[in-house]
């Protein structure tokens, strides 16, 4: 005879922990203050009894789905899983699940993703690098209780903002190249399919650094490509063969820089002696390239954590903080000179 296992209830947990059912509910829902000792006592009882909250009942009682949405533009880019990890860590601490949707930088998929998250009654959404224009995105985000955008600015919009200071970060890496004697600096940008705040801000930083040093931004030194090794390799080949005098290439991100390093190796161009190469983001593979990449370290995990914390504050009705700006740090590796050369730089 098979004995049916009794369903463990919230009241069973309360009895085992020696507290009221209301206190157990507070711990499960992360609502109101419960002392650390009492919380630990309740969590121990939950684990010992194998209690699993009834999500449907919990949702009905609190008018929440305990789901937050996250849209990412490219699941194959190592930049975005780090953000996702930060979001998930905070969500799990709050008893939430994360529903992630990959948009492939396609405006239609971006709309479809937001519609799906709305249908699942997500309590809030975190939008990462969408290509939709400001007016349309703001209108779509009005449908949610709370929203946060990452590396995007929506002036006067409904969403909180978490972003890296991309403009000053790019200025810093370009200034470093100039300080070590490079003057003929090329730029490999990403193809802008729709609105791209990140691309605009990074290129503005590049221009500002060049102009601050009385260096012209040569249109012949600029190419755009997809953020893939294959596309960037071809763009770098076109750039460097057409302009053999270039002594540095600044890349939109580390993936494009990786393609540039491959092309330099294929063309027999020594890095950094003849051409210095810089990336942006400091993804996990940047130090593992055959020539370790100099790049700007974007705090990816921290971006996810801050975005999730801000989202939960806004779900709870706290909109005190509307914007968080994080800084990127310069990481110098083998793809650039370490110091200014002794000889006079070329004019």
Per-residue model confidence (pLDDT) at position 344: 46
Residue 21 belongs to a domain: no
Using left for φ > 0, alpha for ψ between -120 and 50, and beta otherwise, residue 50 falls in: left
* 344, containing H or E segment: none
Residue 178 belongs to a domain: yes
Which of the four pLDDT bands, split at 50, 70 and 90, describes residue 101?
A: very high
**Between 11 and 89, residue with greater pLDDT:** 89
Residues 160 and 303 in one domain: yes
Residues 267 and 123 in one domain: no
Residues 200 and 248 in one domain: yes
Domain hosting 214: range is 166-298
Per-residue model confidence (pLDDT) at position 222: 98
- Give the residue-averaged pLDDT of 267-291: 96
* 115, containing H or E segment: helix 107-119
How many domains does the chain divide into?
A: 2
Residue 2: is its pLDDT beyond 80? no
Residues 227 and 146 in one domain: no
Residues 88 and 147 in one domain: yes
% of the chain beyond a pLDDT of 90? 66
% of the chain beyond a pLDDT of 70? 90
Which of the four pLDDT bands, split at 50, 70 and 90, describes residue 94?
A: confident
Residue 55: is its pLDDT beyond 70? no
Residues 196 and 156: their CA atoms lie apart, in Å, by: 18
Residues 252 and 243: their CA atoms lie apart, in Å, by: 19
Residues 126 and 202 in one domain: no
Residue 57: is its pLDDT beyond 60? no
Residues 305 and 216 in one domain: no
Residues 288 and 310 in one domain: no
Contact status, residue 225 vs residue 235, Cβ threshold 8 Å = yes
Q: Round the average pLDDT of the chain to a whole number and report it.
A: 89
Contact status, residue 265 vs residue 238, Cβ threshold 8 Å = no
3-state SS assignment for residue 117: helix
Per-residue model confidence (pLDDT) at position 58: 54
- 25-52, pLDDT tens digit by residue? 777 766 667 888 888 888 888 888 877 6
Residues 178 and 281 in one domain: yes
3-state SS assignment for residue 217: coil
Per-residue model confidence (pLDDT) at position 347: 40
């Amino acid at each position: 005879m098979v004995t049916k296992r009794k369903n463990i209830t919230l009241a069973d947990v309360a009895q085992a922990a020696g507290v009221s059912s209301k206190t157990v509910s507070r711990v499960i829902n992360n609502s109101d203050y419960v002392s650390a000792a009492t919380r630990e006592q309740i969590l121990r009882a939950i684990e010992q009894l194998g209690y699993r909250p009834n999500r449907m009942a919990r949702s009905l009682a609190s008018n929440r789905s305990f789901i937050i949405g996250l849209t990412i533009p490219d699941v194959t880019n190592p930049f975005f899983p780090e953000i996702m990890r930060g979001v998930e860590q905070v969500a799990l601490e709050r008893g939430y699940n994360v529903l992630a949707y990959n948009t492939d930088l396609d405006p239609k998929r971006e709309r479809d993703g937001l519609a799906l998250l709305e249908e699942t009654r997500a309590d809030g959404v975190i939008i990462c690098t969408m290509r939709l224009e400001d007016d349309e995105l703001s209108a779509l985000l009005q449908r949610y209780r709370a929203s946060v955008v990452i590396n995007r600015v929506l002036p006067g919009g409904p969403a909180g903002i978490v972003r890296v200071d991309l403009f000053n970060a790019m200025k810093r890496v370009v200034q470093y190249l100039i300080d070590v004697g490079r003057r003929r600096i090329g730029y490999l940008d990403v193809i802008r399919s729709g609105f791209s705040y990140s691309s605009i801000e990074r290129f503005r930083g590049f221009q500002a650094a060049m102009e601050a040093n009385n260096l012209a931004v040569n249109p012949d030194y600029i190419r755009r490509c997809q953020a893939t090794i294959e596309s960037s390799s071809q763009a770098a080949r076109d750039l460097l063969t057409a302009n053999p005098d270039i002594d540095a290439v600044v890349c939109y991100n580390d993936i494009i820089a990786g393609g540039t390093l491959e092309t330099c190796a294929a063309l027999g161009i020594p890095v950094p002696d003849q051409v210095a190469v810089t990336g942006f983001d400091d993804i996990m593979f940047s130090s593992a390239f055959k020539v370790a990449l100099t790049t700007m370290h974007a705090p990816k995990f921290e971006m996810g954590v801050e975005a999730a914390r801000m989202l939960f504050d806004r779900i709870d009705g706290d909109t005190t903080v509307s914007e968080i700006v994080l800084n990127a740090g310069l990481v110098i590796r083998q793809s650039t000179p370490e110091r200014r050369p002794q000889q006079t730089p070329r004019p």
